[in-house]
Structure 1
Amino acid sequence: MFLSIQDIVAQFSSWVWGLPLLILLIGGGLFLFIYSGLVPFRYMGHAIAILRGKYDKHDSPGDLSHYEALSSAIAATVGMGNISGVAIAIATGGPGAIFWMWVSAFVGMATKFFTCSLSIMYRGKDENGNIKGGPMYVITEGLGKKWKPLAVFFASAGLVGTLPAFQANQLTQTLVDVFQVNEGNLFTSKLLLGFVIALITGLVIFGGIQRIGKVAGKLVPVMVVIYLITVLTILVLRIEQVPEIFSLIFSDAFSGKSVLGGALGTLIITGVKRAAFSNEAGLGTAPMMHGTAKTKEPIREGLVAMLGPAIDTLLVCTLTALAILSAGIWKNFSGNGISLTLASFDAVLPASIGSIILTICVLIFAFSTLFTYSFYGFSCLSYLTNSKIGKYYNHIYIITIVIAAIIKLDFVINLIDSAYALMAIPTVLSTLILAPKVKKAATDYFTRLKNQTT
């Protein structure tokens, strides 16, 4: 019997996210965490000062300020993965999956520090002399031209991994759930919503990286504040359950009993996959954005980038998980990721207020991600061809939004997860090889910083 495309993609996703990749992502991140000597973590205050613009110089090479680069990267990571992805992790792996998301985030902070420092250290240029960043340039500029096949491998996987399928699918599903579209009009409604989402996205992404950076810089603070206030309200209303929820997360993390009946290894993989989808540490997307930052100091951008997983997974994902678990409906709920989150919010907040606020948050979260991801795909296609051809990726991107609005969630998740796994291989391998370069640069930078303050 012939397998369908959905079955093939599902089987490949299950295979590629096996033990070897888990060791590479978590083991590699843990090595970088230890190898850094935890020095970057001791400079959180300095990272925030950089983010606030204290060290910005307009004549530095690059396109975006430190703040715009981080905002754009967070706009890509703080998105549907934080709302729908967390719900999927709980639905498939149980509360214990959240613990492994935390573990992945801590090692991910170290990974982000190294990968994004390298993205400045080994920047490349396109055929017009414009500065470019990302793992493909780190590989060719840092490891040499003989490693180019690995760079091509990353960029090729990136063409699929940065497609807006998950965001478009879940944004459409949110609107369908909120407006309670009946089955008879479901396909037409989703198709129409897909066209509207594509139109709005196109108005921004065809304006280039500067417009994306400015829009993201304004959207990110607003979306995070609104969402945090809403989730904190839910937690206040269910405050008596919070200690029990934390206890459940920790105990379930080592129980070896996921919701789907898998072993402990399955539970860990679920948490790592959803954390990777959420904060993208080790996947190589963020270095493409941070590589455009206006700076001559690689370590500064690495420190700023390190804040991403902390904001994304340790803060936003944790609050989402607590809100869902406190509602108490996750055990017997049947539906996709965003539907569980919507139902959980409505179970606690009165008169559908939860659905309304969450819909607003989802709109901002999803669109900010949609705006940013287009740049990643453009960067990958530009590397494989040239900037002129790379611009056509935006057209493919827009078409994908419409298609993703009407296809099944399972296929979307397996497709993107597969591409992410393939992207992680060259990103982490090149980072581990070049890690000594970053450590040497960090020692030099922090020595100079200390001399300036003494």
Structure 2
Amino acid sequence: MMLNIQNIVAEFSSWVWGIPLLILLIGGGLYLFIYSGLVPFRYMGHAFAILRGKYDKHDSPGDLSHYEALSSAIAATVGMGNISGVAIAIATGGPGAIFWMWVSAFVGMATKFFTCTLAIMYRGKDEEGNAKGGPMYVITEGLGKKWKPLAVFFSIAGLFGTLPAFQANQLTQTLVDVFKVNATNDFTAKLLLGFSIAIITAIVIFGGIKRIGSVAGKLVPVMVVVYLLTVVTILVLKIDNVPSIFKLIFTDAFSGNAVLGGALGTLIITGVKRAAFSNEAGIGTAPMMHGTAKTKEPVREGLVAMLGPAIDTLLVCTLTALAILASGIWQGFEGNGISLTLAAFDAVLPYNMGSVILTFCVLIFAFSTLFTYSFYGYSCLTFLTNLKVGKYYNYIYILVIVIASVIKLDFVINLMDSAYALMAIPTVISTLILAPKVKKAAKEYFTKLKTENF
């Protein structure tokens, strides 16, 4: 029975991530990139000023500051997708998949600007009057009640796409690999780890969005700095290999030689899927977090959100990929995901320091993602039902952590990929329809910025 479900999910994932979705996600993002006139990209400095709190106003509607909103969104994106997801991309698509992750990230920055600006423009409210954001509210508030089926479609897909399965699975696998658990005790060890992870996660997520934002704001800077210093050390030790690695990424990106069957289309899809899982641009999760930001200026939050894919994919994912490729261990490695990243780090750093440091990073990355994803699923369920029912979501979320810690990685990846694909459809469609509203708001905002001190 379980085998049949795994096969069905695998076949559906392969089918849904076909050319039509690729055109919608990358084509839609490219259209927004061009349609923006690159104006948002010219205000990157202003985006950092907003992030530093220069324009924060405590009486603005919302729950989180600009910094907390971005930190929480990054906590969800700069996670296992950057460590394990990149390894999966290389193992299944070869070095060329990284190039297509870069392409997806560049267009994803424009997508994030539009989707997260809309998340503030068309916020909804729950029964208690709290500001709520996300594609489901953008659809119902921006496009009208007749479009509600599309919002419901997103929310149902979101209930699956925001489950903690991938993070819990790869976190337990990391600890099992590092501590070299005997194969006969593998299931028991993972189950016990799953329970432990669930308890720690519960302590944070039952405190609500404000506690999640506060914890994420403290964890994100630490985890990014420690991880980047480690990866840079690996690259310094393998500096002679770096130029050839960049050449390999670019040449392989258009040959597809590293992909089974040598299909370029498969290679592109691999890169786009892993980038989507990494930075979530166009998927619709980040707008739920950015939609809670304390601001009356939608464009400001769009500018802050635009920094996400740059930090996540262009910086962190790239460094992970370079470290794995520089180690040389990726060729012929019998394994996938976090196991490949661990082996790559240990192959370069002495005395198994790679495993120790990476384990520390994985713990912070995975937990920060686990904390944040609970809010996304909660938001989807409360939209579909109400606050009273939504409060039970965290119990389901905790249970899934335990289950996911002992199931196969391939099933988890296919389930998440399928849900992400379904979430992207309503998110991108609604964003493309409402894009003129964002462009008009951006024009007015940047005009005021030049002429007024506000």
- TM-score between the two structures when normalised by the length of structure 2: 0.99
RMSD: 1.1
Q: Distance in 1 between matches of 2:252 and 2:67?
A: 38
8 Å CA contact 1:258–1:264 kept in 2: the answer is no
2:130 aligned with 1:150: no
Q: Distance in 2 between matches of 1:3 and 1:183?
A: 21
Q: Which amino acid aligns with 1:135?
A: P
- 1:145-190 deviations in Å (ceiling 9; x for gaps): 0000000000000000000000000000000000000011111000
Q: Which amino acid aligns with 1:110?
A: A
Q: Distance in 1 between matches of 2:154 and 2:408?
A: 26
Aligned residue in 2 for 1:398: 398
3-state SS of 1:352 partner:
helix
- 1:267-289 deviations in Å (ceiling 9; x for gaps): 00000000000000000000000
Aligned residue in 1 for 2:264: 264
Q: Which amino acid aligns with 1:140?
A: T
Q: Distance in 2 between matches of 1:416 and 1:88?
A: 14
Aligned residue in 2 for 1:140: 140
Q: Which amino acid aligns with 1:355?
A: S
Aligned residue in 2 for 1:245: 245
Decide whether aligned partners of structure 1 residues 35 and 347 sit closer, same or farther in structure 2, where only a CA change above 3 A counts: same
8 Å CA contact 2:81–2:274 kept in 1: the answer is yes
Q: List aligned pairs for 1:17-32, cutoff 5 A.
A: 17-32=17-32
Q: List aligned pairs for 1:178-193, cutoff 5 A.
A: 178-193=178-193
Q: Distance in 2 between matches of 1:257 and 1:324?
A: 18
3-state SS of 2:55 partner:
coil
Q: Which amino acid aligns with 1:273?
A: K
Shift of 1:335: 1.1
2:127 aligned with 1:127: yes
Shift of 1:453: 6.4
Q: Which amino acid aligns with 2:167?
A: Q
Q: Distance in 1 between matches of 2:18 and 2:392?
A: 34
3-state SS of 1:406 partner:
coil
Q: Distance in 1 between matches of 2:101 and 2:434?
A: 26
Shift of 1:3: 6.8
Q: Which amino acid aligns with 1:45?
A: G
Shift of 1:134: 0.3
Q: Distance in 1 between matches of 2:135 and 2:453?
A: 34
The worse-fitting range, judged by mean Cα deviation, of 385-394 and 174-183 is: 385-394
Aligned residue in 2 for 1:371: 371
Q: List aligned pairs for 1:436-451, cutoff 5 A.
A: 436-451=436-451
2:81 aligned with 1:66: no
- 1:316-337 deviations in Å (ceiling 9; x for gaps): 0000000000000101101121
Q: Which amino acid aligns with 2:380?
A: C
Q: List aligned pairs for 1:329-340, cutoff 5 A.
A: 329-340=329-340
3-state SS of 1:55 partner:
coil
Shift of 1:259: 3.2
- 1:224-267 deviations in Å (ceiling 9; x for gaps): 00000000000000001100000000000001223323400000
- 1:75-108 deviations in Å (ceiling 9; x for gaps): 0000000000000000000000000000000000
2:202 aligned with 1:206: no
Q: List aligned pairs for 1:53-452, cutoff 5 A.
A: 53-452=53-452
- Count of residue pairs the alignment pairs up: 454
Q: Distance in 2 between matches of 1:363 and 1:237?
A: 25
Shift of 1:388: 1.4
- 1:282-330 deviations in Å (ceiling 9; x for gaps): 0000000000000000000000000000000000000000000000010
Decide whether aligned partners of structure 1 residues 93 and 451 sit closer, same or farther in structure 2, where only a CA change above 3 A counts: same
8 Å CA contact 1:100–1:272 kept in 2: the answer is yes
Q: Which amino acid aligns with 1:358?
A: L
8 Å CA contact 1:168–1:405 kept in 2: the answer is yes
Q: Distance in 1 between matches of 2:164 and 2:284?
A: 16
Q: Distance in 2 between matches of 1:275 and 1:410?
A: 17
Q: Which amino acid aligns with 1:98?
A: I
Q: Distance in 2 between matches of 1:428 and 1:94?
A: 28
Decide whether aligned partners of structure 1 residues 83 and 2 sit closer, same or farther in structure 2, where only a CA change above 3 A counts: closer
Unaligned runs of 5+ in 1: none
Q: Distance in 2 between matches of 1:387 and 1:254?
A: 49
- 1:376-403 deviations in Å (ceiling 9; x for gaps): 0000000000011111110000000000
8 Å CA contact 1:258–1:266 kept in 2: the answer is no
Shift of 1:128: 1.6
3-state SS of 2:259 partner:
coil
8 Å CA contact 2:255–2:262 kept in 1: the answer is no
Q: Distance in 1 between matches of 2:383 and 2:45?
A: 35
Q: Distance in 2 between matches of 1:169 and 1:327?
A: 25
- 1:338-385 deviations in Å (ceiling 9; x for gaps): 000000000000010000000000000000000000000000000000
Q: Distance in 1 between matches of 2:4 and 2:132?
A: 39
8 Å CA contact 2:64–2:294 kept in 1: the answer is yes
Q: Distance in 2 between matches of 1:337 and 1:371?
A: 21
8 Å CA contact 2:259–2:266 kept in 1: the answer is no
Shift of 1:2: 11
Q: Which amino acid aligns with 1:86?
A: V
Q: Distance in 2 between matches of 1:284 and 1:239?
A: 38
Task: Please identify runs of 4+ aligned residues in structure 1 that moved more than 6 A.
Answer: none
8 Å CA contact 2:284–2:424 kept in 1: the answer is yes
Q: Distance in 2 between matches of 1:155 and 1:142?
A: 16
Q: Distance in 2 between matches of 1:102 and 1:2?
A: 36
